[in-house]
Amino acid sequence: MRPDPQFTKRRSKHMRWLAAAALLVTAFLINEVAGQSGYLARREQRRQIDALTSDIEQIRKENGQLSGQIRSLRSEPAAIEQYAREHLHLARPGELVIALPPSPPPAETASR
């Protein structure tokens, strides 16, 4: 028994539509995963946001410490003296200042 020619035509047309729809869905999926604003790009942006948020928090802590140091230097003579001794290598009359080079950071040991 031979298939009906109209049935074959309709089936061929449906297959083309199905193939076109499958191609379109595949293109959308690829774009959603790897496109400019796809999953991979959003994941990288989230990583950058997290890193920048961490940097901002660190800078805020530093600003708080520096603000405290500024308040101390404006109001406490002992803080002014300590700063002058440590950073400016100043001393009172009769004192001897010996400035040592900064110590190198400790070497990291490989734990492998």
Q: Kindly list the averaged pLDDT for each block of 10 residues, start to end, along the chain of length 112.
A: 76 91 94 88 95 98 96 93 86 83 78 52
Chain-centre distance for alpha carbon 20 = 41
- Return the pLDDT at 60: 98
Residues with Cβ < 8 Å from 70, sequence gap 6 or more? none
- Return the pLDDT at 108: 72
Mean pLDDT of the chain: 88
- Return the pLDDT at 111: 57
- pTM flag (> 0.95): no
- Provide Rg for the chain, Cα atoms: 35
